[in-house]
Amino acid sequence: MPYRVLSLTILFSYLSLATGTADELPILFQEDFEQDASHWQPLDAKQWTHKKTDKGSVYSQHNKETTYKPPHRSPTNVALLKDVVAGDFDLTAKVLSTHPDYGHRDAVLVFGYQDPAHFYYVHLGKKADDHANQIFIVNNAPRTKISLTSTDGTNWDDKWHNVKIVRRVKEGTIEIYFDDMKKPVMTAKDKTFAWGQIGIGTFDDTSDWDDVVLRGVKAEKPAKP
């Protein structure tokens, strides 16, 4: 093998080992909840607790009753990641639905969160309809479906599952993954919110969360006029 080709091969191998794949975004935040949940801000603190289990600690949204009243119809059982605002991002996490089974059993992930009236979220619901198992925008109005593709529903059981969001601001693309990290279960395209916080939880159920990793491009909140 020519020396130059060999050198490039070694260099590429080194970069792959050091940073993962060449197109991976840098890690902005990661959380395994083994210490605490101090990086998170629940919309209602009484709904959430840092819980130890026989397999490690998790962040548990254990109470579905809430006093939080959003300005528009949208999820109420959410904890936001503090002090991290992203533009483009890849978000992965593990989630355990802890609610008894029913047609709208769900978990949600919030992103592009700017304030209680402006954000996106994905609802991973047991059975799909126009208000379940879709991607939504809350834009100073009740949630509106923006999904271009979805499935018949999210097959919740009493096991842990892997979830992922891939967001690219310039293209406006949103991809949602559930267990299979190669094929999205939902897609959307919208450019309304180019930055925001991320959040985890449910619409009005209960859930446990672990191993959150946010890769992305750090963004700054625009200064208020």
Mean pLDDT of 113-141: 98
> CB-based contacts of 195: which residues, under 8 Å, 6+ apart?
85, 86, 87, 112, 114, 169, 219, 220, 221
Determine, yes or no, domain membership for 207: yes
- What is the reported pTM? 0.88
User: How many domains does the chain contain in total?
Assistant: 1
In a domain, 12, yes or no: no
Q: Is residue 62 part of a domain?
A: yes
Whole-number pLDDT of residue 10? 35
Tens of pLDDT, residues 17-73: 333 444 689 999 999 999 999 999 999 999 999 999 998 999 999 999 999 999 999
Identify the CA nearest to 76 among candidates 181, 201, 161. Answer: 201
For 164, the domain range is 25-218
In a domain, 16, yes or no: no
Which CATH number covers residue 169?
2.60.120.560
Percent pLDDT > 90 in the chain is 86
Q: Specify if 37 maps to a domain.
A: yes
